[in-house]
């Protein structure tokens, strides 16, 4: 493992994409996760939210996608995080770009003119941008997002993306060879579109309720990292999509900077509010630590504590 000093936290962004479904034993809310490729250097084979690190040009993507209008209402809620307008714009742009590349989803301005008639979606999917596959191919070939969108009259948008949380990888990473300062944004599934894995970063895509995904993790059927475990547990507490969206619009995104350590013979990751974490006040509901046992992170008080509090 590289030394702590050689592991700066890279800015990154992920999207928590949600949709409403008919009521079932697991509620009415489903979330989209992607399975990382088995050969990936970070979290191979794990289910994660679509996203990735910030790249050059991401701030320009956000600027072309209405970020300036969004920033006016957003800035007061982010004051405690110390990010510049440019840095937050880059995060929004990264979330938009990475999700288009990995999951094939694109958020468009609701009132913007649609692409030229010859590129209109088929009648079976009236709201799906027919140019998305082309956009993905050109991006994979090194194309410029803004130039491609201008060429095909695609008016992308970040207006519906709300900051939900911010996670900073511990100085001693548990499941990664890199550290990330990742912002998680909440977004409603674009109407009329269908998520498709790119087959490279994302092996497959999974739609399920947060509670069902946690049950699969408990059963050993899927792999999850601590940020996904705790975020799913948080999402599972919301009774409806409306309540979740209201929370994201009104609350300041919580910051979680876990501490990874060896304690009483066990490897664990501790969150704010835990006795072994320097921040005494909890940042989110649920257990304040997860312990590594048999290769998986588990709450020491039992699985039911994920949904307590």
At 128-166, the pLDDT tens digits run: 446 677 778 888 888 899 998 888 888 899 999 999 999
Number of compact structural domains in the chain? 2
Q: Tell whether 263 and 235 lie within a shared domain.
A: no
Phi, psi of 279 (to 5 degrees): -95, 115
Q: Tell whether 199 and 291 lie within a shared domain.
A: no
Q: Tell whether 27 and 109 lie within a shared domain.
A: yes
**Residue 187 contacts residue 107 (beta carbons within 8 Å):** yes
Q: Tell whether 231 and 303 lie within a shared domain.
A: no
Q: How confident is the model at residue 42 (pLDDT cuts 50, 70, 90)?
A: low
> Following DSSP, what letter does each residue of 140-155 receive, concatenated?
HTT--HHHHHHHTT--
HSE on the CB side for 37, CA within 13 Å? 10
Q: Tell whether 163 and 275 lie within a shared domain.
A: no
Please tell me the distance from the alpha carbon of residue 77 to that of residue 79, in angstroms, as a whole number.
6
- pLDDT of 126 > 50? The answer is no
- pLDDT of 120 > 50? The answer is no
Domain range spanning residue 66? Answer: 4-252
Q: Which of 252, 271, 286 is the last residue of a domain?
A: 252
> Following DSSP, what letter does each residue of 246-266 receive, concatenated?
HHHHHSPPEEE--EEEEETTE
Please tell me the distance from the alpha carbon of residue 113 to that of residue 283, in angstroms, as a whole number.
42
Q: Tell whether 264 and 232 lie within a shared domain.
A: no
Q: Tell whether 265 and 156 lie within a shared domain.
A: no
Question: How much is the average pLDDT of 196-204?
Answer: 86
* pTM exceeds cut of 0.85: yes
Closest CA to 46 of 218, 233, 222: 222
Please tell me the distance from the alpha carbon of residue 272 to that of residue 257, in angstroms, as a whole number.
7
Q: Tell whether 278 and 248 lie within a shared domain.
A: no
Question: How much is the average pLDDT of 116-121?
Answer: 37
**Residue 271 contacts residue 283 (beta carbons within 8 Å):** yes
Q: Which of 252, 276, 297 is the last residue of a domain?
A: 252
Q: Tell whether 248 and 273 lie within a shared domain.
A: no
**Residue 213 contacts residue 31 (beta carbons within 8 Å):** yes
Please tell me the distance from the alpha carbon of residue 218 to that of residue 299, in angstroms, as a whole number.
11
Please tell me the distance from the alpha carbon of residue 227 to that of residue 232, in angstroms, as a whole number.
8
- pLDDT of 79 > 50? The answer is yes
């Amino acid at each position: 493992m590289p030394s702590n000093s050689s592991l700066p936290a890279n800015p990154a962004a992920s999207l928590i994409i949600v949709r409403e479904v008919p009521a079932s034993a697991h509620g009415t809310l489903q979330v989209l996760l992607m399975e990382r490729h088995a050969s990936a250097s970070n979290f191979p084979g794990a289910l994660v939210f679509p996203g990735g690190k910030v790249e050059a040009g991401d701030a320009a993507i956000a600027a072309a996608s209405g970020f300036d209008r969004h920033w006016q209402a957003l800035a007061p809620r982010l004051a405690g995080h110390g990010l510049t307008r440019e840095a937050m714009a880059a995060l929004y742009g990264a979330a938009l770009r990475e999700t288009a590349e990995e999951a094939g989803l694109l958020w468009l301005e609701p009132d913007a003119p649609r692409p030229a008639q010859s590129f209109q979606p088929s009648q079976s999917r009236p709201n799906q941008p027919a140019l998305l596959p082309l956009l993905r191919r050109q991006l994979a070939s090194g194309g410029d997002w803004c130039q491609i969108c201008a060429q095909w009259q695609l008016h992308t948008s970040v207006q519906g993306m709300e900051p939900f949380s911010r996670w900073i990888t511990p100085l001693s990473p548990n499941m990664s060879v890199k550290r990330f300062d990742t912002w998680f944004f909440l977004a409603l599934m674009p109407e009329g579109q269908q998520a498709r894995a790119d087959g490279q970063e994302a092996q497959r895509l999974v739609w399920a309720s947060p509670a069902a995904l946690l049950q699969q993790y408990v059963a050993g059927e899927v792999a999850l990292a601590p940020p996904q475990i705790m975020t799913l547990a948080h999402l599972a507490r919301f009774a409806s999509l409306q309540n979740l969206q209201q929370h994201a619009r009104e609350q300041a995104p919580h910051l979680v900077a876990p501490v990874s350590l060896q304690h009483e013979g066990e490897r664990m990751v501790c969150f704010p509010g835990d006795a072994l974490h320097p921040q005494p006040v909890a940042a989110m509901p649920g257990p304040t630590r997860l312990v590594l046992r048999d290769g998986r992170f588990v709450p020491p008080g039992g699985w039911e504590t994920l949904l307590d509090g």
